[in-house]
Structure 1
Amino acid sequence: MTTVTAPRYAGALRLDGKRALITGATKGIGADIARAFASAGASLVLSGRDEAELRSARTALTDQYNIEIRTLAVDLADSAGPARLADAAVDAFGGLDVLVNNAGVSYPQPATETDPAQFDATLAVNLRAPALLASAVGASMVEAGTGGSIITVASAAALAPLPDHYAYCASKAGLVMATKVLARELGPHGVRANSVCPTVVLTEMGQRVWGEEAKAAPMLARIPLGRFAVPHEVSDAVVWLASDMASMVNGVDIAVDGGYTMG
């Protein structure tokens, strides 16, 4: 039985009529972004690796918000995954207005103990896949001629070094710069590209990596607001960038970090 939940956004922050692809949409930040976009009225293509989790997310969001949702199970670590996902997502609604590149992985370890396989896996998922996906989706937006918004969920680790995150920092920093190149090249076609760079977000993964008080304390001491982020603080920024309220915002990286990257 469908029970429509009261919308989280109103006015110019509504995304009614917009078609959005969200990667990594079943867990953590991605799941909250999917809920936020559903609440804002967007039609969604949700991507992840697990078909059962995608079906569950689609059912829950459809029941809550009564919107159109398609799901695509694609492993972005697969070299052919980004192109396959781009083609299927564009076909799902006859085009895309928004891409949210959210999927990512992290294997914390000291730089001097870097595991080559994990380094390669990090760059494949965090940099190669979203960069190629944005390239393909961006091309479809240019061809459609109706503009669009490409949003990269990067990290404060792209803007300031983080110990034990050698590959992660490198991958996210590369992705932020790749997004700026998209902003430069696609801007003349009305396609905006921006990054959101959160500090630690208290998702399941965030709790797993930063849940120990001894490890969290030094990080918290560097955040002027004295706390980590919660998912909706990232989602709100992503919705804003997708909306017409951010129509003149292009090529920026928004630090959702409580002041961490001020130094």
Structure 2
Amino acid sequence: MAQDFAGQTVIVTGAGKGIGRATTAMLAARGAAVVAIARTEADLSSLASATGCRTISADLLDSAAARAAMKEAGTADHLVNCAGTNVLESVIDMTEEGYEAVLGINLRAALICSQEFARARIAAGGGGSILNVTSIAGHRGFPNHLCYAASKAGLEGATRVLAKELGPHGIRVNAVAPGITLTELAAAAWSDPAKSEPMMVRTPMQRFCEVEDVASTIVMMISGDAAMVTGAVMPIDGGFLAV
């Protein structure tokens, strides 16, 4: 079965919460040896107890820490760049601190982790895959998401370059672009009907994503079932971008 990951190692960043946590659990259930990277020790401890994953605590906003974490993780078969953050600021109110936090984690850290993963994989003979988690915010202009949108659109552009350069080494690189996904934080943010209804009206499936919806697509995209898929961005949005 192509989605059986027994004997394979997968690095998941941002594994402590939300999509990253659900992805770690799903991969572990399918036999993967998961290396979970996150900032919060308590999240990692509970995740390790639940899934048996190996954990590395690191603040990926620190470039040196991101490189060190990837080196500690070692050579893996797949990398899922799930670490992300947002600072809600308008165009007029954007701060340098907000910019640095959002672009640093959402884009720079993903590129550093991808670079270190690719170097190790090429040294090991190639093969494997990278999956970047982006967002529909990279495709539509949502208020107060200036830096977030820039980071996610940038990561999609980088995904295509990574796919082009790493393809000859047998390394596939793809992205998934979730819509509103009901993590604990998002569920609270979108509980106001004044905010959620305009989005729901444009969503053919008439619901928002659960973290498992995104995790299952991530698992499919890094599996052998997607062996000829690279350089692609897969929306997971219930049809929002299509209409």
Same fold (TM over 0.5): yes
In the other structure, the counterpart of 1:154 is 134
**Superposition misfits of 4+ residues, deviation over 6 angstroms:** none
In the other structure, the counterpart of 1:219 is 199
Write the mapping of 1:1-263 to structure 2, written as runs, cut at 5 A: 11-62=1-52, 69-90=53-74, 95-263=75-243
The Cα shift of 1:101 comes to 0.2
Contact 1:81 1:129 (C-alpha < 8 Å) held by counterparts = no
The Cα shift of 1:24 comes to 0.9
Percentage of identical aligned residues? 39
Contact 1:225 1:259 (C-alpha < 8 Å) held by counterparts = yes
Q: For 1:41 and 1:262, locate their aligned partners in 2 and report how far apart those are by CA, in whole Å.
A: 35
Residues 111-155 of structure 1: CA deviation (Å, up to 9, x unaligned):
222222112210001001111110111111111114011000111
The Cα shift of 1:12 comes to 2.1
3-state SS in 1 of match to 2:132: strand
The Cα shift of 1:223 comes to 1.5
Contact 1:229 1:257 (C-alpha < 8 Å) held by counterparts = yes
Q: For 2:154 and 2:188, locate their aligned partners in 1 and report how far apart those are by CA, in whole Å.
A: 25
3-state SS in 2 of match to 1:114: coil
In the other structure, the counterpart of 1:3 is none
Residues 212-245 of structure 1: CA deviation (Å, up to 9, x unaligned):
1111111222222222111111011111111111
3-state SS in 2 of match to 1:21: strand
Q: For 2:119 and 2:142, locate their aligned partners in 1 and report how far apart those are by CA, in whole Å.
A: 34
Q: For 1:82 and 1:257, locate their aligned partners in 2 and report how far apart those are by CA, in whole Å.
A: 30
Unpaired runs of at least 5, structure 2: none
TM-score by structure 1 length?
A: 0.89
3-state SS in 2 of match to 1:178: helix
Q: For 1:207 and 1:165, locate their aligned partners in 2 and report how far apart those are by CA, in whole Å.
A: 17
Contact 1:49 1:74 (C-alpha < 8 Å) held by counterparts = yes
Q: For 2:65 and 2:114, locate their aligned partners in 1 and report how far apart those are by CA, in whole Å.
A: 12
Question: How many pairs were matched up?
Answer: 243
The Cα shift of 1:70 comes to 1.4
Q: For 1:208 and 1:112, locate their aligned partners in 2 and report how far apart those are by CA, in whole Å.
A: 25
3-state SS in 2 of match to 1:77: coil
Unpaired runs of at least 5, structure 1: 1-10, 63-68
Contact 1:23 1:103 (C-alpha < 8 Å) held by counterparts = yes
Residues 49-75 of structure 1: CA deviation (Å, up to 9, x unaligned):
11232122101113xxxxxx3110000
3-state SS in 2 of match to 1:254: strand
In the other structure, the counterpart of 1:5 is none
3-state SS in 2 of match to 1:113: coil
Residues 9-64 of structure 1: CA deviation (Å, up to 9, x unaligned):
xx3211111100001111111110011101111001011111232122101113xx
3-state SS in 1 of match to 2:182: coil
3-state SS in 1 of match to 2:63: coil
The Cα shift of 1:211 comes to 2.0
Q: For 2:59 and 2:162, locate their aligned partners in 1 and report how far apart those are by CA, in whole Å.
A: 23
Counterpart code for 1:252: A
